[in-house]
Amino acid sequence: MDELEELLARLTAAQRQLIMTSAKTKTFPDNNTLQKIATLALNISSVETMIADTQDNIQRARFARAND
């Protein structure tokens, strides 16, 4: 789980850096930058889903053990 959270932090930081750099230039970002931001968003979403699924599985396992 720690690895997923670390990956999420790195992806989010990379996306934030691209967005902040784009904002500071005061021009519309080029297509390459927009594509990178969008790709990072998809990856962030996927990692968030994996974290949520992992947490759900852990909770289900705890509940099952408590009911045994």
For the chain of 68 residues, list the mean pLDDT of each consecutive stretch of 10. 95 98 93 98 98 92 82
- What residues have CB less than 8 Å from 1, skipping those under 6 apart? 51, 54, 55
> What pLDDT was estimated at residue 30?
96
> What pLDDT was estimated at residue 63?
82
> What pLDDT was estimated at residue 26?
86
Could you tell me the pTM of the whole model? 0.84
- What residues have CB less than 8 Å from 53, skipping those under 6 apart? none
